[in-house]
Amino acid sequence: AQTVTQSQPEMSVQEAETVTLSCTYDTSESNYYLFWYKQPPSRQMILVIRQEAYKQQNATENRFSVNFQKAAKSFSLKISDSQLGDTAMYFCAFMKHGGDYKLSFGAGTTVTVRA
């Protein structure tokens, strides 16, 4: 079974600053996918970014980027130029390729952006 660990329960960042959320995972699979989902107070689960394990290049989506270190089994999320709307809980998730396509989630990190 895969486990996903988010070691930071809460983080706070000043508006326009940068914050980095950590995620590590444990797997024996060589091909898999990693995701970051955002859950604002509205409760909706929103995909932020995804990374395919076979791609060496780190994924980027506007102000969101990841640092994927396959050997270290690490997948951190960087939020640049933080905005008040980024306030949310962020979940790291793992899915193995070609399996049952289920997501295994970390415990989440609550990010608060201060004005």
Using CB under 8 A as the binding rule, whether residue 95 contacts other proteins is answered as: yes
Under rule CB under 8 A, which residues in 22-51 are in contact with other proteins?
A: 33, 35, 37, 39, 42-47, 50
Give Cβ neighbours of residue 80 (< 8 Å, ≥ 6 apart): 18, 63, 64, 65
Of 16 and 107, the one with the shorter C-beta distance to other proteins is 107
Who contacts 3 (Cβ-Cβ below 8 Å, separation ≥6)?
25, 26, 104
Tokens 């809460």 locate to 10
Write down the least CB distance from residue 50 to other proteins, Å.
6
Site for other proteins contains 108 (CB under 8 A): yes
Does 87 contact other proteins by CB under 8 A?
Answer: no
